[in-house]
Amino acid sequence: MDRISQYAPSSGTGVSRDVESLRRDVSLSSTAAQYGCKLTRNGHEFATCCPFHAEDTPSFTIFVGQDGVERFHCFGCGRKGDVLDFVQEVRGVDLQGAIRILGGRDTIRPDIPARPIRAPDIYEGIVPVPPPAGLLQAGVRLRLYNPKRKGERSEWGALTPSMVFPYRHADGSLSGYVLRHDLPDGAKETPMVMFVRLPDGRETWSRFPFPKPRPIYGLETIGNDGQVMIVEGEKCRDWLHRASGRTVLSWAGGTQGVRHTDWSPLSGRDVLIWPDFDTPGLSAADEIAARLTALGAHVRLVGFTDAGDASDIERYNFDDWRVGLFPCRGWDCADAVDAGWTQSQLDAFMAATLRDWRPEPADEMEEGRIVPFKRAVSVQASISALPAPVPAKVVEGALVQGDEPTPAITPAGAVPGRFGRLMGIERFDIELEQWLVDRQWFIKLNLLSGELEIHRNSSIVRMSDARLAEIRFELACAAQGREPSKDNIFDALMLIGERRAYHPVHDYLARLQWDRKPRIDTWLVDYFGAEDTPLNRAFGRKILCAAVRRVRHPGCKFDYMLVVEGPQGIGKSSAILALCDDRDWFTDQLEIGADAKVTIEKTAGHWILEMPELDGLSRRDTNRVKSFIPTMIDSARLSYGRFTSKRPRQFILFGTTNESRYLTDTTGNRRFWIVRATAADPSGIAAARDQLWAEAAEREAGENLCLDSQALRNAAAGVAHESSDFGPWLEILRERIPEGPLKIKATDVWKLVGFDGPETINKLTKAHHAHMRAAMVGLGFEKKDKGVRFCDGEKKTAYVRGDPDEAREWSPDRHEPAYGYGSTF
């Protein structure tokens, strides 16, 4: 009896036992292969194009779950399951039918004949655009658009990456990311992500394959000469780069991505390849070697040569290798680093396993494409074949001040300790970083402030000229007087800080856990004594969600300022400050009308900004504020800066005022969201602060950051109208002009305030006209400069309230001017 047929169910009572047995013992990968899936091994998994939907790029993965059962998951269509689910999908049968098929009572043959399916271009109209400033971070939830799910509920989704791998251009500018996302069932996905513009004009992070040919991972580090290493996988690249100090590269897309990668930057270079210890990894290394050789590179391989030698040792240490044992299948350089291999041990392993790469005979080549080769040919190689990992020479002229040539130091006079290695290392910043870490100095870039910081013990110190001098003199002492140049130290510190970059607000929000109790809809009501209205609820919710989004997506569009209007001394500013977990995140020092350079400098490191005492603004100042609010990116050349800085905004704006009428612009004040406060409770906000931000962080992705109904927009306009200053003539005209739809000649309006006749009207100033226009706008009138026709046939400049065709004519000459506003004819 064959292995499958013994599980054929004999009765209904045996179904449960048969199901579990089939799931555990029948190979899903073998079954999928029998149904025509062309499987490619990727480490411990298999990948292929999904048999359930059309696609050109493999998104269907077979893996072993934590329960030891083989399972599948398609990241394109979302289907997932075990071998029984697979058979049900591909054969169109129920569970009983799948059991019979796998039990040997049916043939392994799809019910529906295979047919060619042309995959639609799901990325049509989606264009990559320059990404915003601020790096994506592991552990921080990210909202993503998924073109493969267009039209479905999951078209917009979110994930929390466990690892983040930024791909950069040769000049260091960001291109996109590969993210590692660990799934609940034990599998993982590594989507490529780019910042794109959607067909409707929105800009967002999206699942989006890098344009072909794809960039090399680590491209910005390769320089113009020197040896480079290639490993499979971004994690392997980062791990080996940090552990060895060498220039290490990788590529996107795993073994299937080799042919889509732009290898031309490595033309003519000296290249070492460390493949994964499995057949697909060795084949990928051969394919890369063939492509690089065609580009004139000198290619050698390191590591093991025959995947058939693999053992079951998962944690493979250096002593295992020394006694002749082999690691498990799929072992790679990251596994070695995780097992504690030191830099010298890694160097010894690479030196001992170094071999030249040579192509197979021409008859094994298929015309028109490069095929993987069976094996690299081993040759004798001494340790000197590799560059010495710790060159015993003094830093080259680029790292030493002065033009005096520096003789090599003999071993007897070598510079002691890590600094001796630092002086000859290819990447000065790598060894400097470790030298600082040895002293518990951790250099980090604060992505909120854009400043370098020194984290040591429990203190954080901003990088300054004094701290730079301290580091410089410590280095000089360690190197026995040989002093690296100040510029090179600072450049290295910038690279170190960028690698260790962090965002204090990001980190704060990521730590919070919402208790599921709603608060952000009513926090303005609860802590500012505002009236409980749909408008104030919307204001409260949207301003906090905007603050979260500005940190997660710097420079995102948000065109509003929340203005807290209330009596003096109730604590408005203190309550706004209480929103900040760190008071350094708050500032009220931004000047009205400041240029971009001042704005960048004044807002660096701040998340919540207050513009106090808005009641003192002139109309010109109000217009400056209105134009300042919607700006998304500030661009300027900063003091001592070499290049123009573009800083996407990470802050939101609050305004405060003690007055009830302070808006002086009569053309519209929609950018001001006005909340009337009766009392403020800073201590209450401080106590609820973590839960307010936890809820905002949870709800941000689904919140529209504008007033998304006409009722809310009308209500906001009404509040803004009530807070507007319509000038000194408003009350006079209110008493003298009746209500209702009216049209009044401009000359008649001037009569109401004492300007009667051409002589006095001709003496009116711009201020008079501004006061009149403001007052009439306050009464609901619009000035018609092109004229309105009156019943006497004349077409005159006039003020009109309502429809000009339905409005009644009114003149103080024909009606008593003492009509109260609200009187009728």
Q: Are residues 495 and 516 in the same domain?
A: no
- Look at residue 383 and tell me if it is in a domain: no
Are 540 and 524 spatial neighbours (Cβ–Cβ below 8 Å)? yes
Q: What percent of the chain has pLDDT over 90?
A: 35
Q: What percent of the chain has pLDDT over 70?
A: 83
Going by pLDDT thresholds of 50, 70 and 90, the confidence category of residue 612 is: confident
- Look at residue 677 and tell me if it is in a domain: yes
Q: Which one, of 394, 743, 718, lies nearest residue 531 by Cα?
A: 718
- Look at residue 365 and tell me if it is in a domain: no
DSSP for residue 556: -
DSSP track, 343-376: HHHHHHHHHHH-EE--PPPGGGSPTTS----S-P
- Look at residue 386 and tell me if it is in a domain: no
Tokens of 523: 């926090």
pLDDT surpassing 80 at residue 396: no
Q: Residue length, the chain?
A: 825
Domain that holds residue 47: 5-105
DSSP for residue 502: B
In this structure, what are the phi and psi dihedrals at residue 569, rounded to the nearest 5 degrees? 85, 5
- On average, the pLDDT of the chain sits at 80
Q: Which of 458, 478, 502 is the last residue of a domain?
A: 502
Are 727 and 767 spatial neighbours (Cβ–Cβ below 8 Å)? no
pLDDT surpassing 50 at residue 115: no
pLDDT surpassing 80 at residue 332: yes
Q: Are residues 567 and 659 in the same domain?
A: yes
- Which residue type sits at 170? A
Q: Are residues 714 and 752 in the same domain?
A: no
The predicted-structure confidence for 45-86, as pLDDT tens digits, reads as follows 888 888 887 777 788 889 887 777 889 988 777 888 999 999
Are 300 and 272 spatial neighbours (Cβ–Cβ below 8 Å)? yes
Q: Are residues 141 and 198 in the same domain?
A: yes
Q: Are residues 549 and 617 in the same domain?
A: yes
Mean pLDDT over residues 435-444, rounded?
85
Please give the pLDDT value at position 454.
92
Q: Which one, of 254, 154, 269, 185, lies nearest residue 219 by Cα?
A: 269
Strand partners, 74: 60
Are 104 and 22 spatial neighbours (Cβ–Cβ below 8 Å)? no
Mean pLDDT over residues 562-584, rounded?
94
What CATH number is given to the structural domain containing 43? 3.90.580.10
- Which residue type sits at 624? R
Distance CA 656, CA 673 (A): 11
Distance CA 688, CA 500 (A): 31
- Look at residue 113 and tell me if it is in a domain: no
Q: Say how many C-beta atoms besides its own lie within 10 A of residue 515's C-beta.
A: 10
Are 135 and 164 spatial neighbours (Cβ–Cβ below 8 Å)? yes
Q: Are residues 75 and 30 in the same domain?
A: yes
Going by pLDDT thresholds of 50, 70 and 90, the confidence category of residue 500 is: confident
Are 563 and 578 spatial neighbours (Cβ–Cβ below 8 Å)? no
The predicted-structure confidence for 546-571, as pLDDT tens digits, reads as follows 999 999 999 999 999 999 999 988 99
Bridge pairing between strands 270-274 and 298-301: parallel
- Which residue type sits at 110? P
Mean pLDDT over residues 441-451, rounded?
91
Counting the structural domains of the chain, the total is 6
Helices H / strands E in the chain, number of each: 25, 32
What CATH number is given to the structural domain containing 289? 3.40.1360.10
Q: Which of 105, 137, 159 is the last residue of a domain?
A: 105
Mean pLDDT over residues 662-688, rounded?
87
Q: Which of 46, 75, 105 is the last residue of a domain?
A: 105
The predicted-structure confidence for 338-367, as pLDDT tens digits, reads as follows 999 999 899 999 999 999 988 765 444 333
Burial code of 660-675, b = ≥16 C-beta within 10 A, e = fewer? eebbbbbeebebbbbb
Q: What is the dihedral of CA 392, 397, 400, 401, to 10 degrees?
A: 160
Distance CA 773, CA 799 (A): 9
Q: Are residues 329 and 253 in the same domain?
A: yes
Distance CA 89, CA 623 (A): 63
Q: Are residues 347 and 442 in the same domain?
A: no
- Look at residue 378 and tell me if it is in a domain: no
Q: Are residues 150 and 88 in the same domain?
A: no
Strand partners, 674: 563
Are 538 and 707 spatial neighbours (Cβ–Cβ below 8 Å)? yes
Q: Are residues 443 and 524 in the same domain?
A: no
Tokens of 202: 């929105």
> Using CA of residue 451, residue 456, residue 459, residue 461, what is the dihedral sign?
negative
Please give the pLDDT value at position 427.
63
Mean pLDDT over residues 778-790, rounded?
81
Q: Are residues 534 and 630 in the same domain?
A: yes
Are 83 and 70 spatial neighbours (Cβ–Cβ below 8 Å)? yes
Please give the pLDDT value at position 255.
83
Q: Are residues 239 and 279 in the same domain?
A: yes
- Look at residue 122 and tell me if it is in a domain: no
- Look at residue 489 and tell me if it is in a domain: yes
Distance CA 301, CA 354 (A): 6
Half-sphere exposure of 104 (CA within 13 A, CB side): 11
